[in-house]
Structure 1
């Protein structure tokens, strides 16, 4: 009867491998969660900040385009596809939109 109480070495190896696999999956899951949190923290830190001077960006709507502008360094930042929209509006209005945008940042 003593033989039935004692697990075989292959059984011990199986459970040891299962335990290691569970710990590995848990570690990978924790690493993924940490990476996601770090990405979100970086996004919050840099979201709507001027890449040139670090001050807050403000959104100005000109026509159908929203321009991210920095009133500190007078920078204008465009998201993907916005330059094409500005140029298209400029050609439709004979350059009036682009002229209005440039007038925003003229120094007094």
Structure 2
């Protein structure tokens, strides 16, 4: 007589379905972790967006030429997005770039 009967699945078949179930649960856990990480990044962005990294107060946007500066009127910090400093300095020539930076610094001189 054979150990395998039509009514009873084989041991290999049980292992296959167990591995498939484990893999499906692993993928689900990975997907949930990615969604949680994305949600946490979004929550952090909402919490810190347009807040001064130095003192935590609200940043104000000031237009200086073609660049928008994020400025804090509490601690007088000026924050630039990626590429904006190069645009201010390099895009206008050395002399004009210096004038632009001087104008920016004059915005925050204390009386």
User: Which is helix-richer, 1 or 2?
Assistant: 1
Deviations 1:19-49 (A, max 9, x none): 1111111111111111111111111111111
| Structure 2 residues not aligned, in runs of 5+ | none
**TM-score w.r.t. length of structure 2:** 0.84
Q: Could you tell me which of 13, 16, 26 is aligned with 1:14?
A: 16
| Match among 85, 91, 100 for residue 87 of structure 2 | 85
CA–CA separation in structure 2 for the residues paired with 1:94 and 1:82: 12
Structure 2 CA distance for aligned equivalents of residues 15 and 41 of structure 1: 39
Runs ≥4 residues deviating over 6 A = none
Write the distance in 1 (CA, Å) between the matches of 2:96 and 2:12: 80
Could you tell me how far apart the structure 1 residues matched to 2:99 and 2:88 are? 10
Equivalence map 1:1-108=2 (5 Å): 3-88=5-90, 89=92, 91=94, 93=96, 95-108=98-111
Cα RMSD over matched residues? 2.0
Matched residues, number: 107
For structure 1, which runs of at least 5 residues remain unmatched after alignment? Answer: none
The TM-score with structure 1 as length reference comes to 0.86
> Could you tell me whether the CA contact under 8 Å between 1:90 and 1:97 is conserved in 2?
no
